[in-house]
Amino acid sequence: MPGLFSLEGRKALVTGANAGIGRAIATTLAAQGAHVVCAGRRSCDETVAEIAAAGGAAEALRLDFADPMAARDVFEGAGFDILVNNAGIIRRADSVDFTEADWDDVVDINMKAVFFTTQAFGRELIARGRPGAVVSIASLLSFQGGIRVPSYTASKHGVAGLTKILANEWAKHAITVNAVAPGYIATANTQALREDPERARAILDRIPAGRWGAPEDIGGTVAFLCSPAATYLTGAVINVDGGWMAR
């Protein structure tokens, strides 16, 4: 009999699963028994191969969320009951120099696509009377302002807000909606920070855990939020940050 944290018999879509946090989430869900569809604008074949090599079930799907409606036809009749909104981008510039194109590109992928992908997922589950779980990847900048990333900060505040409104509306349908706010994780998005000695030292000095996070640090929390153990947990934004926000 499946345990409290098992995802046996579940089917998950993980966006941005080709690398970094998305890849770690996909492999963790598969390790708990989920059939994982790994979606991204770049090939997710390496993620699928890693899951298969470990004895899990996975497949790849090309989706480019530069079109925020890219997933509108993905869910109908497909049997998904888990959605992880991980795909995202970041652009850096002083706010006085920030361009409309960089604003729109980030907000379209990080917030607009999250809403319309989740809408399509929820619409399918509600129509079929099925329970499910949504987990979106938020950020410490869902709570803080940051510097030189105005569109990213706005989009991640938006993800936190969408998490709460959808949780309110869908709890009666047994669909949980939560978010995970990673701290400073060693991925491509933080490479510029890690390569700046002054910024990297300032960041490490504030993290009580004393290290940058690894993508794998996020996977376990996402898997928990998708599991039977978390069916009464909804509308939460959970920090996985080595203690950064507690400092």
Active site members? 152
- Rounded Cα distance, 84 and 137, in Å: 8
Give the position of tokens 């379209």. Answer: 108
Q: Where are the beta strands (DSSP E) in the chain?
A: 11-15, 35-40, 57-62, 82-85, 132-137, 175-182, 237-240
Dist. CA 167–CA 102, nearest whole Å: 30
- DSSP, collapsed to helix, strand or coil, labels residue 205 as helix
Distance CA 136, CA 109 (A): 13
